[in-house]
Structure 1
Amino acid sequence: MSQIHALMGWFSLALFLARGLAFQFEQAWPMDARLRVVVFGNDLLMTVTGLSLWALRHHNPLYDGWLAGKLIALLAYTVCAHWAMGRGEFRSLGYVMSLLFLAYMIGASVTRSAALGLF
Structure 2
Amino acid sequence: MIEFYIPVKSVHVAAVLASGSLFALRGVLVLTGRAWAMSAPLRYLSYSIDTVLLTAALMLATMLPGAVFANGWLAVKLTLLVSYVLLGSFALKRGRSNRSRILFFIAAVIVYAFMYSVARTHQPLGVFALFQTGLT
Matched, 1:88 2:96: yes
CA distance in 2, matches of 1:61, 1:92: 36
The answer for the alignment partner of 2:72 in structure 1 is 65
The answer for the alignment partner of 2:45 in structure 1 is 38
Does the Cα contact within 8 Å between 1:77 and 1:102 map onto a contact in 2? Answer: yes
Does the Cα contact within 8 Å between 1:61 and 1:68 map onto a contact in 2? Answer: no
CA distance in 1, matches of 2:119, 2:110: 14
The answer for the alignment partner of 2:5 in structure 1 is none
CA distance in 2, matches of 1:33, 1:66: 35
Identity of aligned residues (%): 25
Change in Cα spacing, 1:47 to 1:64, as seen in structure 2 (3 Å) is farther
CA distance in 2, matches of 1:17, 1:108: 20
Give runs of aligned pairs for residues 93-104 of structure 1, distance below 5 A: 93-104=103-114
The answer for the alignment partner of 1:106 in structure 2 is 116
* 4+ residue runs over 4 A deviation: 59-62
Which of 50, 56, 64 matches 1:49?
Answer: 56
CA distance in 2, matches of 1:92, 1:59: 40
Matched, 1:17 2:27: no
Q: Deviations over 1:40-63 (max 9, x none)?
A: 010011001001101111357862
CA distance in 1, matches of 2:103, 2:31: 10
CA distance in 2, matches of 1:20, 1:48: 24
CA distance in 2, matches of 1:26, 1:70: 31
- Gaps of at least 5 residues in structure 1 are none
The root-mean-square deviation of aligned C-alpha atoms, in Å, is 1.5
The number of residue pairs the alignment matches comes to: 119
For the pair shown, the structure with the greater C-alpha radius of gyration is 2
Post-superposition offset of 1:25: 1.0
Post-superposition offset of 1:91: 1.0
TM-score of the superposed pair, with normalisation by structure 2: 0.82
